[in-house]
Amino acid sequence: MMALEALFSTRDNYGKRALVPRVPKFIGRDAPIYPGTGTSYTVNSVLADMCDLRNAFAHGDIVPEKFLGTPAETPVASTNVKSYADVLREASAVILRSVFLRIFQEKLVDVFADKRKMKAFF
């Protein structure tokens, strides 16, 4: 999450306010977290919850029960993915990988290295 915030935030627009509109626009709101599984987890469906989970950790709170108490959808449930909190953990890695792939493949490093250019990009 910190890497995503570093890429998409500006001095005036950071955290959830920066990530929720920009990340889906950049990699696709309907991009699946688990391609080919038929689950409902997409970039748009998990991003705000990822921010809420990050904020809980950053402020010394525990994982919210709404994340721990919600089981993962059956196609992705496993020893390592038991709850929605686990899905959010995996989603952060999937989303970051997708963002980096696009940045490198489309040669956008200069855009994301300069906050003015990044802001203009969106």
Which pTM was predicted?
0.91
Query: What pLDDT is attached to residue 4?
Result: 95
Query: What pLDDT is attached to residue 58?
Result: 87
Query: What pLDDT is attached to residue 106?
Result: 97
Domain ranges of the chain: 2-121
Query: What pLDDT is attached to residue 6?
Result: 93
User: Do the beta carbons of residue 9 and residue 25 sit within 8 Å?
Assistant: no
Output phi, psi for 38, to 5 deg. Answer: 80, 10
User: Do the beta carbons of residue 74 and residue 85 sit within 8 Å?
Assistant: no
Residues 6+ apart with CB under 8 A from 46: 33, 87, 88, 91
pLDDT in single tens digits along all 122 residues of the chain: 999 999 999 988 888 999 999 999 999 999 999 999 999 999 999 999 999 999 998 888 888 899 999 999 999 999 899 999 999 999 999 999 999 999 999 999 999 999 999 999 99
